[in-house]
Copies of this chain bind each other. A is one copy, B any other.
Amino acid sequence: MPYLVCVACGKRYPLDTALRCGNCDEPLEVHYDSLKPPARIKDDPCFVTRNTNVFPLPDLRPELSLGEGTTPLLRASNLQAETGLECVYLKNETVNPTWSFKDRGTSLGVQAAIWFGLKSIGTVSSGNMAASIAAFAARAGLEAYVFVQEGMPDGKIQPIAIYGPHLNRGIGDYGQLYFNALDLGEKHGIYFISSDNPFRVEGQKTVAYEILDQLDYEPLDFIFMPVSSGGNMAAVIKACEEMEALGLIKKAPMIIGVQAAGCSPIAKAVAEDKDQIEHFHNPNTMAHAISNPMPPSGNRILRKVKEGRANVITVTEEEILAAQAFLASQEGLFVQPAGAVPVAAVRRLAGESTLKPEHKIAAILTGSGLKDTSALAHHTLKAGAVPVTNLELALNK
């Protein structure tokens, strides 16, 4: 039977108890007595049944899947041409059922809630997580409780509200709310599937298994990805360690987490060689989906950096905008600003020759550009048109 382990002190817990360690207040993660590889994508298209071997719960219900996962891995031909890198792949997580990577973790989180006998799930979020939780709850017949900030405009709420969750406006600081939600959930029987919930992490880790499966387990040197709470990055590191232990790959790729310089608590702690994340004051970035000033899995990422498994770096607002425009206008992929940060980092590091042409790289594009259009006004529309004189078309005025 799998069990939970504190990522800091190693204390063991049964699967169905705490979400964070009673000693350390650090996140717990799932360990397995014996792990077997997941099925190959070609042998099983279903996210739930394909990954049963690397999921900790028995009696999974595949009919609750919304078709998450199995997202395309595209060769970034135009990015390669620009940077001189020979092999860059883009994992397009924007084509998940609610158009972000969150659906992988929510899928398993819902299975956990059902296994625990709970009828309600919840989240504190303004964006990707809220839509994902609400959608999977709808499919599974669970109640969803979504907590959003008081002033959120209707235009951002409606695409979440349509799934029919109980919407609660009027919360304050998101960082504090992560912890409040754990208490609230216990009191009201709501299973809060937060960013580094151990089951969410097990679901999120499938993105790395998929990337390597799609490459027939050919080695990668680096996986670049955005990092916010640290839960998704921890999941990708964990999957790569598992694949190494399983013998599926000889050596795990180095995972490069990328933050916006305007909200970069993990990168700051790495740069200053700290063991503990400190609250990042006055966060300011257009990459809203990764603007977390006090990441609950931050310390865990710092440990992985010290173990040589990972690194965390920053990119500027200008680099994010440029990467978003590059991805859309050169590769045909429109991602939200947070989804563009890994590519911003690849472009800079290739320019500085920190990345070598022969390095094999994958970048995870986490969410659709349609989910956060606020940055679009910063882009300049391409002017001009073919010279058209057709009278029915009053163009080029």
Interface of A toward B, CB cutoff 8 Å: 41-43, 45, 63, 65-67, 70-75, 77-78, 92, 95-99, 120, 131, 135-139, 141, 145, 147, 150, 154-155, 157-159, 161-172, 176-177, 180, 183-184, 187-188, 190, 324-325, 328-334, 368-371, 373, 376-377, 379, 381-382, 384-388, 390, 392-397
Q: How far is the CA of A131 from the CA of B333 in the complex (A)?
A: 10
Q: How far is the CA of A166 from the CA of B387 in the complex (A)?
A: 11
In the assembled complex, how far is the CB of residue A263 from the closest CB belonging to chain B, in whole angstroms?
Answer: 22
Given contacts A379-B162, A390-B183, contact A332 B139 (CB under 8 A): yes
- Consensus secondary structure, chain A interface: mixed
| Chain B residue nearest in CB terms to A47 | B72
Cβ contact within 8 Å between A377 and B154: yes
In the assembled complex, how far is the CB of residue A318 from the closest CB belonging to chain B, in whole angstroms?
Answer: 16
Cβ contact within 8 Å between A141 and B71: no
Pick from B78, B95, B138, B331: contact of A329, CB below 8 A.
B138
Cβ contact within 8 Å between A141 and B392: no
Q: How many copies does the complex hold?
A: 2
Cβ contact within 8 Å between A334 and B159: yes
Pick from B63, B95, B371, B379: contact of A161, CB below 8 A.
B379
Query: Residues of B contacting A74 with CB < 8 Å?
Result: 65-67
Cβ contact within 8 Å between B136 and A332: yes
| Interchain Cβ contacts under 8 Å between A and B, 22 examples | A67-B72, A67-B73, A67-B74, A67-B92, A95-B95, A97-B332, A135-B332, A138-B330, A139-B331, A139-B332, A155-B373, A161-B376, A162-B334, A163-B329, A167-B385, A168-B396, A169-B395, A180-B390, A184-B393, A188-B386, A188-B388, A370-B371
Most buried by B among A325, A393, A394: A393
Q: How far is the CA of A72 from the CA of B103 in the complex (A)?
A: 14
Given contacts A45-B42, A370-B370, A379-B162, contact A176 B392 (CB under 8 A): yes
Cβ contact within 8 Å between B163 and A328: yes
In the assembled complex, how far is the CB of residue A184 from the closest CB belonging to chain B, in whole angstroms?
Answer: 6
Pick from B43, B66, B75, B369: contact of A333, CB below 8 A.
B66
Most buried by B among A147, A187, A385: A385
Cβ contact within 8 Å between B170 and A369: no
Cβ contact within 8 Å between B329 and A388: no
| Chain B residue nearest in CB terms to A329 | B164
| Chain B residue nearest in CB terms to A173 | B392
Q: How far is the CA of A329 from the CA of B131 in the complex (A)?
A: 11
In the assembled complex, how far is the CB of residue A346 from the closest CB belonging to chain B, in whole angstroms?
Answer: 18
**A-B complex: 7 closest residue pairs judged by Cβ atoms:** A67-B72, A164-B329, A139-B332, A158-B376, A135-B332, A370-B370, A138-B332
